[in-house]
Chains A and B, each alone.
Chain A
């Protein structure tokens, strides 16, 4: 069954960093606005209005658009068809987006502290040291 769901385990506070992270993981087309309607391609997909939309098909999301809703606490949370969760970026859409977003967070923190960054990858873990 195809329906839009919110995935609360992923939350993104900074809109600019979120857009940059989306671009990095391959979202070549991103719609931005206030109350953008997510497409309804199946009858079970209820109406959703969100400020950020990745249109259907851009990143392997064959069942519907991927949206980001803005919560009362000021966080953007992904809304996507439950079937796309295992299809978009071969099911790696949310983990890859979180990793790309978090790397941008670290770069911004380092810039604010006027620090230096030392990055390495060990066994599937990205290690970043910020000295300031």
Chain B
């Protein structure tokens, strides 16, 4: 055996081991004496390893943006804009319909006079941006259809916007180190939110979900001093419109002085206040996008009576001022998430201030103001997955994971030493090195260690020891067939290596599929397994071989090999 070769190998192994140990338990700050104490090592280890939420505790939420609702309201909004435009221009339009069923979004305009279709088309195009809609005419109707490409692009935009809003809300409420990212395929419109350390995610969940769609609307009613016109049932309200709701009207529920829970959601209706209905004009005078600021202020009714005061941006204030100036004594409604919160008559021109009353508690008013400031979600969201792990459960999982690892390792070490004697030491050194380097690999790639990841480590112990067993059994066989010790070792390694490569590659292939296509827990498992297997090629083959070489070089003539 060449001495130089052995020296080179030894240096490589020592350097890799030391670097590995440093990565795992070395401090990321200027080293001090404390870093050599047991507690210092433990603290450094904890700081270096990136633990998953299932081990350190926290909340994992997957939510979906209901983009179909977004497209639906977009279509309806455009339809009412078309109606308003054609009415203002005096075009001969009989009906404007919005069709939103089955993934198709259409606006159908029916003309009373088919020869005026061209005129209608021109008139609409001037006022309403329909560049993403494809147009077709037949008979006396013009149909605008939202193209599939535009659908995808708009849905994507809505998801991205929702993501931004969620980020700003998390930031505003003070969640530490949240992770917000897209989840699943692009067309699934899912967003993943991870919040370490949050134990009771209920409030945050409500906060994120709050649509906080604010609108100021004109209530259809005889002017003050007559009371505002309300209806006892939805049907009654509909009947007042002649049985069908035209495109420029909406019927909304109105629950006066209802007691909302956090973030303005309706409560679990244990004792519902009487619900009434009102007819309002559509579109709204202004909506939440014109909001400049919103804050909770205490009302007159004591500590349980908070309200939201808001201020408008200059553009909104101009619009609002003009409208209120022209509609003195008319009724105006404040609509939050499609529900009328309050109705008031207009005493005089209002420019940029307003308030939402509704007997909020301090926290619900604060939360509502926060979500109003962050902007309305473009579409409602729903939670599809929630996984919350309390810190004690996480710590418990770490304990049982580590315990399973240690016992697994002990079984294996005891057997290898008993069965292979001297060579068993090689296996043990290789195993321990594998463990250290695996943790180092996890830290280097900034991978997250999860509970299934610990299972991956335990499995790696099994696979790693398999490589040793393959090699040792082969060396034994070669020795039995009468080969000299050096050539038996050489042949044993060479022959077993082919098998080791094959077994490792197949396992890595299946793990890669898990990693690329799998979700959460499956990925955590795949990461440790792949890292462990790659390192195993180094520790079980290269390191173990070097130990044998070292043994051979120590004695001129090795009489027997302990294996």
On whether the two chains bind one another, the answer is no
Interface residues of B (CB under 8 A from A): none
